[in-house]
Structure 1
Amino acid sequence: MVAKIRPAQTLDLPVAPGAHSVQMAIDWGRSPAISIDVAPGETVDLRCAPNTAQPVLIGITVGRGKYVRLWRPETLDAHEEVEAPLPVPWFRLVTLGLLLAALGIAIAYGSIAEAVIIAVLALVPAAVIGAWIYARRRR
């Protein structure tokens, strides 16, 4: 570990010119390592964010190596930056749709207990999709 960074914090790390490998980690999850080549006197900007396109159960188990997104934004000029768009959480959208359909069926058949359980389960993908929409609007 070289340094710790908090949410919305900027960190400046002086490094020697040459090739470097950079990786972000949060608890058990991490980003894939990216290679950067730093020229003498060059400033390299890197960005990180949660990988919201990855299903939660995959992210905390077999997908923990891609739990964090790390990228180097390319600049058009000194004032305007281009950022990679946030990936659409398709799996969560489909999951939410299926859960809402099941909720409708449970309500139609009068199964209140099942409807409550399904509604609670639907909160997880709905919250993630809401966070994704919020993050896209902040850009």
Structure 2
Amino acid sequence: MSRTVLVLNGPNLNLLGTREPATYGRETLADVSALCSRSAAQLGLEVDFRQTNHEGELLDWIHQARGRYAAIVINPAAWTHTSVAIRDALVAVELPVIEVHISNVHARESFRHHSYVSSIALAVLCGFGINGYRLALEHLAQWLSTQEQSA
């Protein structure tokens, strides 16, 4: 079984570090990528880390994940609240999904309280800052080990 996790990031996350630092912190997307790589290595995983501002590109990456990756960690960003297409693609590839948000979306504007992804996710992490990505990888490493043992 593959031990590679596809880590996907949606729109505006390329602006981390400068965009609303009171909400998202000062860490950059490169910091998030480095954290994921370090965490994955410690957990016996590999990561393929990507970000896009184009929904169709994100959908293509999700479609390509089937059979190539063990799981998906996704921060859909604004698409969390708007994209049925992303939800449907995640369901279609039949991989475990963990949804991550840097901020606590439930402490923000009411339109951010609804997620099209949460109901199909193995777990949802929000408000942990960029450490949510590390926690997602830790959970996936444990979940994958359990799946391997029962296979």
State if a TM-score over 0.5 links the two structures: no
TM-score by length of 1: 0.26
Larger Rg: 1
TM-score by length of 2: 0.25
Decide which structure has greater helix share. Answer: 2
